[in-house]
Amino acid sequence: MTDKKKTSQDSYKPDWVPENAGQEFATKVVKGKRITGKTEKRQGAKKLRTLSVDEYVSGVLKCDRTITARTITLIESNSQEHFEKSQEVLKRLLPYSGKSLRIGISGIPGAGKSTLIETLGCDLIGKGYKLAVLTVDPSSSVSKGSILGDKVRMEKLSREENCFIRPSPSGGILGGVARKTRETITVCEAAGFDIVLIETMGVGQSEITVRSMVDFFLLVLISGGGDELQGIKRGVMEISDAVAINKADGDNLEKAKLSQTEYSLALKYIKPITRNWEPKCYLCSALTGYGVDNLWEEMKKFEKITKQSGFFEERRKAQSLEWVFTIIEENLKENFYNDKAVQREITKITSLIHKGEILPTTAAEKLLHTYYKK
């Protein structure tokens, strides 16, 4: 901003006003005020009363939407004080959780995941279910765009009393987002939501992370393009319990049928991820609703079969244990890289590696030694 455009201490002409403009450009911009401190302390905003652990717990159990949302905010907070309180709340909620069917929905950007959630979600609410929709998107803290988009795409669903939509926390790193999402599932279940849908963008590690927290994993694709164009790696099909070719409507229906044949064949060569369940490829249109009910019927069948065989519980237990070790690994890694002595040693080692004066194995050993000799 040039000083010339300043008109007073507190206001100035915006950038797009020509340099020598006269009074015909009446617009002035008032200087922003720097706000410091926590969100709750923002000027003009009503400070929310701090809730006790008891209030959080009883609010969630009564499915009080405001308190449920505040409990999730508590979980999403990065402060140590909030972390301890949230752990206390979660411990109390844990016995009431675990009763929902957790469904992961993944697929390439624009495949129609959010629209499918809107259509399926409204059907489920119509059938009397209570539904929670969460998203896992480690990039959302950068792009922010998808959150706004999803609110628009799930417009009808977001107005439903029995639906609770929560966008991905802006955790930045996937590990942080994953922890918060897992704990959010616990809160939603304790609040009585009997289906939890988790949408994730088909990028890198996030599908594997979502797979590790859901019972059923659905991959949403669109017709045409083939594997390369869709950016879908075989690995993602390997962790899926079903593939849905969306946008099977209008002129696209025939192409969608061809894709269904291709993917059905591809699935035959993949070892199923769930015992006693053979993943199949379905057609659907989130726009017209075609095939959506069939998808739900398959999910129900899946739940029945895996519960009867005991695999449902087995997988949940394995997921909990896996989660314990993930937390440990993340913690160790964080401690290691935050260690001052290790950081100094890394600087030295980096230059030795660049000069080719040390073997990578020796370098790693030296660093670990630096860490453990504390």
Q: Site residues (CB under 5 A) for Mg ion?
A: 113-114
The minimum distance between CB 54 and ligand GTP, in angstroms, equals 38
For ligand GTP, the nearest residue by Cβ is 112
112 binds, among Mg ion, ligand GTP, none (CB under 5 to 8 A by kind): ligand GTP
85 binds, among Mg ion, ligand GTP, none (CB under 5 to 8 A by kind): none
Pick the closer one to ligand GTP by CB: 109 or 231: 109
> Can you tell me the distance from the alpha carbon of 191 to that of 87, in angstroms, rounded to the nearest whole number?
16
CA max distance for the chain: 80
Residue corresponding to tokens 């993340």: 330
Q: Is 106 exposed, middle or buried (0-12, 13-18, 19+ CB in 10 A)?
A: buried
DSSP letter (8 states) at residue 6: B
Pick the closer one to ligand GTP by CB: 120 or 367: 120
The minimum distance between CB 75 and ligand GTP, in angstroms, equals 23
Pick the closer one to Mg ion by CB: 196 or 363: 196
109 binds, among ligand GTP, Mg ion, none (CB under 5 to 8 A by kind): ligand GTP
Q: How far is CA 87 from CA 71, 80, 82, 133, 209, in A?
A: 11, 11, 8, 22, 21
Pick the closer one to ligand GTP by CB: 287 or 346: 287
The minimum distance between CB 259 and Mg ion, in angstroms, equals 20
Pick the closer one to Mg ion by CB: 114 or 168: 114
The minimum distance between CB 220 and ligand GTP, in angstroms, equals 7
285 binds, among ligand GTP, Mg ion, none (CB under 5 to 8 A by kind): ligand GTP
Residues 6+ apart with CB under 8 A from 227: 233, 234
Report yes or no: 284 and 295 within 8 Å, Cβ to Cβ.
yes
The minimum distance between CB 303 and Mg ion, in angstroms, equals 24
286 binds, among ligand GTP, Mg ion, none (CB under 5 to 8 A by kind): ligand GTP
Pick the closer one to Mg ion by CB: 204 or 310: 204
> Can you tell me the distance from the alpha carbon of 200 to that of 181, in angstroms, rounded to the nearest whole number?
11
- List contacts with ligand GTP (CB under 6 A): 107, 109-115, 146, 153, 201, 246-247, 249, 285-287
166 binds, among ligand GTP, Mg ion, none (CB under 5 to 8 A by kind): none
User: Which of 4, 3, 9, 2 is closest to 31 using CA atoms?
Assistant: 9
131 binds, among ligand GTP, Mg ion, none (CB under 5 to 8 A by kind): none
The minimum distance between CB 10 and Mg ion, in angstroms, equals 41
Pick the closer one to Mg ion by CB: 168 or 306: 168
Listed as own residue / partner, the contacts of 118-122 with beta carbons closer than 8 Å and 24 or more positions apart are 118/153, 118/154, 118/155, 118/156, 118/157, 118/286, 119/286, 119/287, 119/289, 119/292, 120/197, 120/286, 120/292, 120/295, 120/296, 121/154, 121/157, 121/160, 121/163, 121/197, 122/156, 122/157, 122/160
The minimum distance between CB 138 and Mg ion, in angstroms, equals 14
